[in-house]
Structure 1
Amino acid sequence: MDTQHLSTFVAIAESGSFSVAAARLHLTQPAISKRIALLEQQLDKKLFDRYGKQTQLTPAGRALLPHAREILQAVTDAGRALADLDGEVSGPLSIATSHHIGLHRLPSVLSEFSRAFPKVHLDLHFLDSEKALTAVAQGEFELGVITLGGQTSGQITQRPIWRDTLEFVCAKTHPLTQQEPLQLSDLCDYQAIAPDSNTHTTRLIQRLFEGNELTLNISMVTNHLDTIKMMVSIGLGWGVLPRSMIDAQLTTLNLQLPPLTRELGVVFDNRRSQSNAAQKFLAVLQSSTQAG
């Protein structure tokens, strides 16, 4: 099968649109349609159903998609391995990271790496940690820098880099600041602002409440910790944030609990040979953390 036809097929499958795929691949829509027609002719299977402007995979298309991704990834890996033989650190390096890590942990690492290896093209994408982990496992990114703790198979290596201490916080004007002594059960009377329930951070909080036979009252959900900080700071509810984000806008609640922590780090597929760029990035990440 022609890799151009397969890359076109994957682009349409991921975007759900012939026109969006055409723009992504810098091709005309007739050229995109022709590639798919040739691929369908070669396979003797219809790959897409069209309903007006909607495009959906047929059963044959769904069966082909993971194999197409694997084939394209193998071709990419082969080209990268050959290019890496001379030891040069260049080419693309795809990284998925969460907004919090990308904004608060990675800037100095990315700056140092880009200065040391200017021939590497950093392809950085911001995703929720759980989605980034899945994308790395599916071969969409070479590295993920995320909150660790998600379910992984044996193919994914998780390497801790940072440890976040989490604190319960609220606005200075919140009624919780007037309660002394403060118990965990007191928080149940007020609205919480937290990430989505499928995130590792919120699961940590839920386990703490459930372990004390309490019900967590989450009124607003957002996966951006900076947004949670803003909403908590203006008194819309209490929240849980990394200690590194707490400033004069917030009051830390003294709950006399064991420290609540989470690990942040890097993940990668251990079945794939790492590019020179990925190896150097991991080295810079580790060294900058040790220096910090």
Structure 2
Amino acid sequence: MDTAQLQAFVSTIESGSVSAAAARLHLTQSAVTKRLQALESQLGETLLDRIGRGVQLTDAGQRLVPIARRILADMTLAQQAVRSAPGTVTGELNLATSHHLGLHRLPSVLSRFSRAYPAVDLNLEFLDSEEGCDAVESGRLELAVVTLPRRPSTRLLTRVIWEDPLTLCAAPDHPLTTQADLTIEHLGRHAAILPDRRTFTHRLIADALAQVDMAPKVRMSTNYLETIKMLVSIGLGWSALPRTMLDDSIVALPLDLNIHRSLGTAVHRGRTLSGPARAFLSVLEPATG
């Protein structure tokens, strides 16, 4: 069993197919297949069931996944330790962030980091915040800068960097903007444009409406806040967006549900952070303080 075989195995399950793994690893499909077959032969177990064009983990494969990821992460740390000269930071940093954070919060941080640590290869992956936390928890990624869950997994160590108050908003000509004595019950009677129900933001709003035994009437769902803002601005529904996104195209509603998101970092509690990850965290907090 070697790292090439483990890389083929992990890439196949993460990509969903042998062909996608081959593209990811810049190999032929037959090369990936041979590595998987060699790994299964050495372990004496079938790890993947080939169903159609996709793959599915067997029980043995599920047991191997966390171990394989840990071995590959340790190999990366070993390579970084050997290659780094004293006092320098080199290697890779695999970082997850959401589109909104990547556009509105991280540009100055990324610029500062790349100037301070030019020898680090930064691999930035845009994911929904929930997926980013899952990727860190599984060991696939080392660090996530995302909307933090209200009740994070016990395997995650989270740190708040920004508090992000959410403001109820609608188009200037929406009926809610002229509603006298606006209440949360009025919100429940009108269509909403929200992220999907799996997101932390959706849960915050749903929990607020649940206090009056109501649920949001979701007319349309998207996880891109910029798209939500556009849909709200043309009158398709109300929403809750960060205050920093308000402008002339949408107006704040005169009702404060006191809901906010906490934005920050998530790392695995049991993982020793690499030099690049520690360096990124050191740049992040001063740059946002």
Does TM, normalized by the shorter one, top 0.5? yes
Mark the CA change 1:248 to 1:154 in structure 2 (over 3 Å): closer, same or farther.
Answer: same
Partner residue in 1 for 2:94: 94
Partner residue in 1 for 2:212: 212
Matched residue SS, 2:69: helix
Unaligned 5+ runs, structure 1: none
Number of matched pairs: 289
What letter corresponds to residue 236 of structure 1 in structure 2?
L
Deviation at 1:103, TM superposition (A): 0.9
Partner residue in 2 for 1:289: 288
Matching of residue 145 in structure 1 with residue 145 in structure 2: yes
Counterpart-to-counterpart distance in 1, 2:80 and 2:152: 26
Partner residue in 2 for 1:157: 157
Matched residue SS, 2:204: helix
Partner residue in 2 for 1:266: 265
CA contact (8 A) 2:167 2:241 kept: yes
Partner residue in 1 for 2:166: 166
Counterpart-to-counterpart distance in 1, 2:55 and 2:197: 31
Counterpart-to-counterpart distance in 1, 2:229 and 2:37: 51
Residues 194-273 of structure 1 aligned to structure 2 (within 5 Å) = 194-255=194-255, 257=256, 259-273=258-272
What letter corresponds to residue 116 of structure 1 in structure 2?
A
Counterpart-to-counterpart distance in 1, 2:52 and 2:162: 48
Counterpart-to-counterpart distance in 2, 1:37 and 1:235: 56
Counterpart-to-counterpart distance in 1, 2:259 and 2:45: 53
Bigger shift: residues 192-201 or 205-214: 205-214
Residues 102-113 of structure 1 aligned to structure 2 (within 5 Å) = 102-113=102-113
CA contact (8 A) 2:18 2:54 kept: no
1:97-124 deviations in Å (ceiling 9; x for gaps): 1111111111111111112211111100
What letter corresponds to residue 278 of structure 1 in structure 2?
A
Bigger shift: residues 188-197 or 51-60: 51-60
Unaligned 5+ runs, structure 2: none
CA contact (8 A) 1:130 1:150 kept: no
What letter corresponds to residue 200 of structure 1 in structure 2?
F
TM-score, scaled relative to structure 2: 0.94
CA contact (8 A) 1:87 1:276 kept: no
Matching of residue 73 in structure 1 with residue 56 in structure 2: no
Matching of residue 56 in structure 1 with residue 76 in structure 2: no
Counterpart-to-counterpart distance in 2, 1:66 and 1:157: 18
TM-score, scaled relative to structure 1: 0.93
Deviation at 1:258, TM superposition (A): 5.3
Counterpart-to-counterpart distance in 1, 2:48 and 2:200: 36
Identity %: 49
